[in-house]
């Protein structure tokens, strides 16, 4: 197993395992690894992240489970039922039609396979079954996701430059924009960080999008779904890998620009099956971003407790940022 910063390969040095797919990190954390880049959340890094807490401000990064409404990507709408128990002295409840990736979410390592190379670390298709533990979200849950979080507030940065994002267009947020945002904020991304990227899309959706726009975005064939995100895939994959982050999340529906084209590529194929890098989507970052802008501090302790679902594909993040 290789986890020390000094021994992490650059993107140009991948793969490290003979016979592994080009550009993949397979074998870097062991042939039976189930955590991917979350292995970089070492005890020393957790301790260092805990020392970032200065004022005790806590920010929930979780959207309510019934948003977006209507759901995107053909996912179903959750139904919440409340029942009386014990002759009326108590209450219980349950969820029907609950899609763990319909709202704020982690995409786990089962979520996407590379069309040529397959699942992360060479796990076979027939090992990805309900209740099976191979690459299941329960491995994330059992470890817990705790470390230094860093916010890049791209939406606010671009507004300050007089070039705000159009949230209805497939605008590409390039590596140059991410680097410029980090410089403007005076923050440096470090090995093992959980990188959060605020585009402002979720604020637009919740506050400005009309009911007609919401229905259009939720079209079953996705043809009307378009939003800004990071890319293009090749350059962004190299950039994110060379940062040696543990995971990356954003406030838009797919992290990367959508729809993907032949020119932009599909970043999910690179991050999840090649790198073992979890992707977070539709995280609620506005409150955190406002506080970061107010005090100029864009680093914090980040905690996340995914659902312990054996063989699960994804999960609500149950994420907190603590400053």
- pLDDT tens for 196-221 read 999 999 999 999 999 999 999 999 88
Judge whether residue 2 has pLDDT over 50: no
| pLDDT score recorded for residue 221 | 83
As a whole number, mean pLDDT of residues 248-277 equals: 97
Report the number of distinct structural domains present in the chain. 1
pLDDT for res 222:
85
Q: Please, which pLDDT band fits residue 187 given cuts at 50, 70 and 90? A: very high
CATH number at residue 230: 3.50.30.50
Beta strands 314-315; 105-107: pairing state: antiparallel
The 10s digit of each residue's pLDDT in 127-147 is: 999 988 899 999 999 999 999
Look at residue 170 and tell me whether its pLDDT is greater than 80: yes
pLDDT at 220: 84
Mean per-residue pLDDT, 308-315: 97
Percent of the chain with pLDDT over 70: 98
Give the pLDDT score at 6: 54
The whole model's pTM is what?
0.97
Indicate if the pLDDT at residue 5 is higher than 80.
Answer: no
- pLDDT band at 3, cuts 50/70/90? very low
CA 47 to chain centre: 22
The band of 1, judged by pLDDT with boundaries at 50, 70 and 90, is: very low
Mean of the per-residue pLDDT values for the chain?
Answer: 96
Q: Which domain holds residue 242?
A: 5-322
Q: Is the pLDDT of residue 7 over 90?
A: no
Q: What is the pLDDT of residues 265-274, one digit of tens each?
A: 999 999 999 9
Q: Give per-residue pLDDT as tens, 53-110.
A: 999 999 999 999 999 999 999 999 999 999 999 999 999 999 999 999 999 999 999 9
């Amino acid at each position: 197993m290789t986890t020390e910063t000094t021994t992490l390969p650059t993107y140009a040095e991948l793969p490290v395992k003979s016979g592994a797919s080009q550009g993949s990190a397979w074998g870097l954390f062991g042939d039976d690894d189930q955590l991917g880049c979350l292995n970089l959340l070492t005890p020393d890094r957790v301790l260092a992240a805990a020392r970032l807490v200065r004022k005790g401000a806590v920010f929930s990064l979780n959207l309510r489970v019934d948003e977006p409404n209507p759901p995107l990507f053909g996912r179903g709408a959750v139904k919440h039922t409340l029942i009386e128990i014990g002759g009326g002295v108590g209450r219980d409840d349950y969820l029907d039609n609950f899609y763990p990736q319909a709202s704020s979410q982690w995409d786990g390592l089962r979520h996407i396979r590379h069309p040529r190379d397959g699942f992360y670390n060479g796990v076979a298709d027939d090992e990805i079954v309900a209740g099976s533990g191979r690459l299941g979200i329960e491995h994330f849950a059992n470890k817990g996701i705790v470390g230094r979080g860093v916010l890049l507030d791209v939406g606010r940065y671009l507004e300050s430059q007089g070039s705000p994002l159009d949230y209805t267009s497939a605008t590409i947020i390039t590596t140059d924009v991410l680097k410029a945002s980090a410089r403007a904020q005076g923050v440096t991304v470090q090995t093992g960080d959980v990188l959060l990227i605020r585009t402002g899309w979720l604020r637009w959706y919740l506050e400005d999008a009309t009911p007609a726009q919401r229905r259009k975005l939720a079209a079953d064939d996705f043809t009307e779904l378009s939003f800004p995100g990071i890319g293009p895939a090749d350059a962004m994959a190299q950039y994110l890998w060379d940062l040696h982050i543990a995971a990356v999340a954003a406030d838009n529906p797919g992290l990367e620009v959508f729809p993907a084209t032949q020119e932009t590529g599909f970043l999910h194929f690179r991050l999840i099956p090649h790198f073992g890098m979890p992707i977070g989507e539709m995280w609620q970052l506005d409150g955190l971003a406002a506080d970061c802008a107010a005090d100029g501090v864009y680093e914090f302790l980040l905690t996340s407790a995914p659902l312990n679902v054996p063989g699960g594909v994804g999960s609500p993040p149950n994420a907190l940022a603590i400053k």
